Amino acid sequence: DNNVGGLLSASIDFSGTWDKFLEPDLNSMKATSDLQIEQGRLVDFKPLESLAKFVDINDLKSIKFSSLQSRVEISKSIITIPKTAIKNSALNIDFWGTHSFNNDIDYHIQLLINDYLLKEKPNADDEFGLLENDPENRRSAFILMTGTVDKLRY
């Protein structure tokens, strides 16, 4: 799926082995990549749909952000994404987790939601029990996604 858009620049260190038929040994592959996305956009990102009960889902269909930086690592057929921040005027997202070459996922998502998004749902705290306030009195929702790409569990 095409969930992320923008101008990508990356620096990648990669190693791996191939057999004599040029078939890769996926377990041997190792990579470290410093990524930067400018003029970014998060489009139809499935985890955000779980917030529809207290946020207008149309506000979450396409989230624009100015810049994102992260260091992604690959080792033993597992992609590891460290805590990465996506910030814009409506919503701040911290995202981290793992994604295997077999499409097993373990994603952690923390959403800092500004009051702008909650104006339509003043009882959001009652409807969604996982909301917490941070020291600056912003609301946070936490989502854990596990399973496979085809069978996600929230």
**pLDDT of 57:** 64
Q: Is the pLDDT of residue 113 over 90?
A: no
Query: pLDDT by residue (tens digit) across 75-102?
Result: 999 999 999 998 876 678 899 999 999 9
Integer angstrom CA distances of residue 72 from 80, 99, 133, 140 = 6, 11, 29, 25
pLDDT at 114 > cutoff 80: no
pTM more than 0.85: no
Residue 54 lies in domain = 4-153
State phi, psi for 57 to the nearest 5 degrees. Answer: -60, -30
**What pLDDT is recorded for position 140?**
78
For residues 124 and 153, the model is more confident at: 153
Q: Quick one: average pLDDT of 17-26?
A: 96
Query: Residues 61-74: what's their mean pLDDT?
Result: 91
Confirm if 139 and 113 have CB atoms less than 8 A apart. yes
What is the pLDDT at residue 51?
Answer: 63
Q: How many domains does the chain have?
A: 1
Residue 52 CA to residue 71 CA, distance in Å, equals 30
Q: Read off the pLDDT of each residue in 23-32 and give the average, rounded to a whole number.
A: 96
DSSP string over 53-96: TTS-GGGGSEEEEEEEEEEEEEETTEEEEEEEEEE-SSEEEEEE
Q: What is the pLDDT of residue 130?
A: 47
Q: Is 147 left (phi over 0), alpha (psi -120 to 50) or beta?
A: left
